[in-house]
Amino acid sequence: MAAMKFYMTPGSCSTGIHIILEELEEIFEAYIVNLPAGDHFKPDYVAINPKSTIPALVRGDGSVLTEVPAIAYWLARSRPRAKLWPEDVEAETRALETMCYVVTTVHGQGFARVFATKSFSGMGADPEKIERLGKDIVAQGFGILNTMLEGRDYVADRFSVADAILFYVEFWADKTNLPVPPNIAAHYRRMLARPTVQRVLREEGYNLATLAADERFKAPAG
Q: Which residues pair with 5 in a beta bridge?
A: 29, 58
Mean per-residue pLDDT, 143-172: 97
Mean per-residue pLDDT, 173-186: 97
- Report H helices in the chain: 14-23, 43-48, 68-77, 89-101, 112-115, 127-148, 161-176, 182-192, 195-203
Tell me if the bond preceding 55 is cis, omega within 30° of 0.
yes
Q: What percent of the chain has pLDDT over 90?
A: 92
- Across the chain, mean pLDDT equals 95
Question: Which residue segment(s) compose the domain that 22 sits in?
Answer: 4-82
Q: What is the pLDDT of residue 124?
A: 66
Q: The CATH number of the domain where 42 resides is what?
A: 3.40.30.10
Question: Which residue did the predictor score with more confidence, 2 or 58?
Answer: 58
Please write the tens of the pLDDT for every residue from 7-37.
999 999 999 999 999 999 999 999 999 999 9
Please write the tens of the pLDDT for every residue from 71-80.
999 999 999 9
Residue 132 lies in a domain: yes
Residues 22 and 72 in one domain: yes
- Count of domains observed in the chain: 2
Mean per-residue pLDDT, 83-105: 96
Res 193 pLDDT > 90 = yes
pTM: 0.96
82, 109, 139 — which closes off a domain?
82
Q: What is the pLDDT of residue 8?
A: 98
Q: What is the pLDDT of residue 220?
A: 78
Mean per-residue pLDDT, 64-91: 97
Instruction: Using alpha carbons, list the distances in angstroms from residue 63 to 2, 49, 55, 151, 192.
Output: 11, 11, 14, 40, 32
